[in-house]
């Protein structure tokens, strides 16, 4: 029986039109990577038939599985559920829209021995002007508040040591602060340039309000948490 060391967590919310392409891309990665890998989809209360298609995908691929919410709880909840469910030493995160590619996990994996989180940095981003500008503003907010020196904290391609991921506290907006939350644990973080692609199908789940206003409010939540965060060490 294969002992897996890496699980890719894929949050899914109304991405039916992308799932077959995503299946193909993930399967190609799983079959070619030197890290024994599997895939965990987290259906975030999809209403477009995504869950039925995920059932079919997981039935025909032994390395794929999924868990499902009863209703839509948001990206942060989907990620946290995935983190809590994973049972491998390492976990990855990728969005279902395929604006990043599973192939680029191969660019991140060489660093997992020395770092607790390895995150992609999207180069030559294929976003609309409004989306790119709002992301740039939101990222500036985060850097100002967190001092994490990350260039692209919102990049949906990351690898995290599972023991660190499971310590991340649950709160709405946690997906915007993953590097900072690992740094709070005195973890080590690495940035690696990756490719970025235009969205081919489906619709973005984020608009101006949750790209700018949401991150701004979440920064205050993070500051409150940082001030009260406790790192303890056992002597026995």
pLDDT at 195 over 60: yes
pLDDT in tens, 141-162: 677 666 777 777 888 999 999 9
The pLDDT assigned to 189 comes to 96
More confident residue, 216 or 165: 165
Nearest to 230 by CA among 172, 167, 166: 167
| C-alpha 224, offset from chain centre | 23
The pLDDT assigned to 55 comes to 97
Handedness of CA 152, 165, 21, 2 (dihedral sign): positive
Q: What is the pTM of this model?
A: 0.85
pLDDT in tens, 12-59: 999 999 999 999 999 999 999 999 999 999 999 999 999 999 999 999
pLDDT in tens, 56-80: 999 999 999 999 999 999 999 999 9
Q: Which residues contact 8 (CB under 8 A, 6 or more apart)?
A: 26, 29, 37, 38, 39, 40, 91, 92, 93, 94, 102, 105
More confident residue, 220 or 108: 108
Query: Class of the 6-228 domain?
Result: alpha beta
The pLDDT assigned to 133 comes to 61
């Amino acid at each position: 029986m294969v002992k897996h060391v890496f699980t890719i967590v894929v949050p899914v919310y109304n991405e039916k039109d992308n799932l077959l392409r995503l299946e193909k891309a993930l399967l190609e990665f799983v079959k070619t990577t030197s890290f024994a890998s599997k895939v965990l989809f987290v259906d975030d209360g999809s209403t477009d038939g995504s869950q039925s298609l995920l059932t079919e995908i997981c039935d025909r691929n032994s390395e794929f599985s999924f868990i499902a919410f009863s209703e839509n709880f948001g990206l942060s909840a989907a990620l946290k559920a995935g983190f809590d469910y994973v049972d491998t030493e390492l976990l990855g995160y990728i969005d279902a829209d395929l604006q990043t590619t599973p192939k680029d996990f191969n660019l991140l994996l060489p660093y997992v021995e020395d770092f607790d989180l390895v995150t992609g940095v999207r180069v030559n981003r294929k976003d609309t002007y409004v989306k790119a500008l709002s992301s740039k503003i939101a990222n500036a907010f985060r850097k100002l508040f967190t001092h994490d020196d990350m260039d692209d904290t919102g990049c949906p391609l990351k690898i995290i040591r599972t023991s660190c991921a499971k310590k991340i506290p649950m709160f709405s907006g946690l997906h915007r602060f993953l590097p900072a939350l690992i740094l709070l644990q005195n973890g080590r973080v690495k940035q690696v340039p990756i490719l970025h692609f235009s969205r081919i199908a489906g619709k973005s789940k984020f608009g101006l309000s949750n790209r700018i206003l949401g991150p701004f409010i979440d920064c205050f939540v993070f500051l409150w948490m940082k001030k009260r965060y406790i790192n303890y060490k056992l002597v026995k």
